[in-house]
A and B are shown apart, each in its own frame.
Chain A
Amino acid sequence: MTTLIDTRLRPGWSRVVTRDSGVAVAEREALGTTARVALWPPEQLDAALLAVDVQIERLDRQASRFREDSELSRVQRGTPGIFLVSEGLAEAIGVALWAARWTDGLVDPTVGAALLALGYDRDFAAIEPLGARAPLSPAEVPGPAGVRLEGRLLHLGAGVRLDLGATAKGLGSDRAAKAAFLGTARAGGVLVSLGGDITVAGEPPRGGWPVLVADDHRDTAGPGTQVVRLAAGAIATSSILCRRWERAGRLLHHIVDPRTGLPAEGPWRTASVAAASCAEANAASTAAIVAGIGAEEWLATTALPARLVGHDGGVRLLGGWPEEDGGQIRLGACAADGVSAGDSAGAR
């Protein structure tokens, strides 16, 4: 273990020991996963952690599907209709609706009911013992047409159950990185990772922030791993190798194909994508898994650097993803239609 309890850090955070004295790294458990912050100069760490804490708590209160008192849960407990939601939730839903349009429906925030039907209706840790023999009856995905957002007014159609999993964590990483950077003296740079959805802000270290891209989290020393350097923007990975459970004798995973309401099937088990924002990277990596054999074609339209790993372990690099270990991710001049944390709550 590389973490040290440091009483000088904010509660919950542990300092991560690195070989590089020019940066400070800390992590904590958050959102059911790990939040990690790396920054330079190291003296600014506490200010950055405070800013990240605020953003994590805000996102959890706004958009968590598993938290009973979250704003999203409260909205979905009511009957369909019109709701006045907070700016933050409006933004999160707006980004999800944008992602649905951008990916031509490969990711869809209305897969909530389908996930419930598949058995992903509680914290993941509680699924497995309960549902292995339960019947499998996929639910229809109503599609984003059942959701309308006008500013902070959310219109939810009948039968629509939202799940913002394809974009919310990326959006949270974007928000946290921005807040952390502004929370410091805006000198140097910061990297924020929420469960592997990574955004950087400010000036990177020389050559960029080194990030390990791991296909299978259980096999980190094999050919499936690669170190890349991220100087700007964000990177996210989606994989069907984690969070699996069994229903009706069938092994299921959490990435739902909105066209079928069932777990996505295709030649790729892991997709990593770099983009200017982590919300985009997150949406694109999920879309690539869902697209299946169409993943390469769809990713080509985005011009985003991407790394696909097939079920046989074969790796396919797209959009200028570096071939060499330690290579720098370079984003194109206009990789995709932008999604803004600020403009998303409008006409989506």
Chain B
Amino acid sequence: MEQDREIRPATVRLPKPPGNGVDAGKEREHGLRSSRHLSSWTIAALVVAVGATSAALAHALPAATSAPTGAHAQAGVGGTGVSSAVNAPNVSTPVAVTSASGVTTYVTPSAAGKATVTSRQAVATFGDS
């Protein structure tokens, strides 16, 4: 028996809070109110932060990431389709040729100002089959 008493965990009543207990209730209520206040401010701050981040990202991301190769992407990839850049160069002679697909072409600016093209037939991986 002696042994049993010794190994049984002791149950100790906690001391009563000072005062009549009404103050403790007030304290608890005040704590909860503080927490609610804090939560409201945290949520408000989070909303503002997320909004600001989204706006910043929307401006920072290149247009090309949202411009597919679709027909409605009229401005092309990442561009406006209009030479609005003040430093855009003037290009007078053709820089490329569209001809029978798969034919290797070379553009040569001629003295007359118009391009001339030499070409050779090549082994094209992708024809227009």
Interface residues of A (CB under 8 A from B): 1-3, 16, 18-23, 25, 29, 31-34, 36, 38, 40-41, 60, 63-67, 111, 115, 120, 123-125, 163-166, 168-169, 171-172, 174, 177-178, 181-182, 186, 188-189, 191, 193, 195-218, 220-221, 225, 227, 231-239, 241-243, 254-256, 270, 272, 275-280, 282, 285-286, 289, 331, 333-343
Contacts and interface: CB of A to CB of B under 8 A. Distances in A.
B98 A193 contact: yes
Contact of B103 (A115, A171, A242): A242
Contacts of B51: none
B75 to A, nearest CB: 5
A239 B107 contact: no
Interface of B: 62, 64, 68-85, 87-109, 114-119, 121-129
Contacts, number: 322
Given A209-B95, A276-B71, A40 B125 contact: no
The secondary structure that dominates the B interface is loop
13 contacts: A29-B122, A111-B129, A169-B124, A171-B69, A196-B97, A196-B101, A206-B90, A206-B91, A211-B94, A216-B99, A217-B99, A235-B98, A289-B128
B95 A210 contact: yes
B129 A255 contact: yes
B95 A64 contact: no
A211 B75 CA distance: 18
Nearest to B120: A217
Given A123-B123, A195-B104, A216-B100, 18 more contacts: A2-B109, A19-B92, A23-B91, A36-B95, A64-B126, A166-B129, A188-B85, A196-B105, A198-B96, A199-B69, A199-B77, A203-B84, A211-B95, A216-B99, A231-B76, A232-B76, A277-B69, A286-B129
Contacts of A66: 123, 125
A23 B90 CA distance: 9
B89 A231 contact: no
Those 10 A-B pairs whose CB atoms lie nearest each other, nearest first: A22-B89, A338-B70, A232-B81, A277-B69, A340-B68, A201-B77, A239-B100, A232-B76, A242-B100, A220-B117
A201 to B, nearest CB: 4
Given A18-B109, A237-B101, A124 B96 contact: no
B111 to A, nearest CB: 11
Given A18-B95, A23-B89, A337-B71, A241 B125 contact: no
Most chain B C-beta atoms within 10 Å of own C-beta, residue among A125, A181, A202:
A202
Nearest to A114: B129
A67 B72 CA distance: 34
A7 B49 CA distance: 50
A199 B104 CA distance: 17
A19 B125 contact: no
A33 B96 contact: no
B105 A34 contact: yes
B98 A198 contact: yes
Contact of A177 (B77, B85, B115, B127): B77
Contacts of B128: 165-166, 238, 254-255, 282, 285-286, 289
A276 B100 contact: no
Contacts of B92: 19-20, 210
Contacts of A235: 98
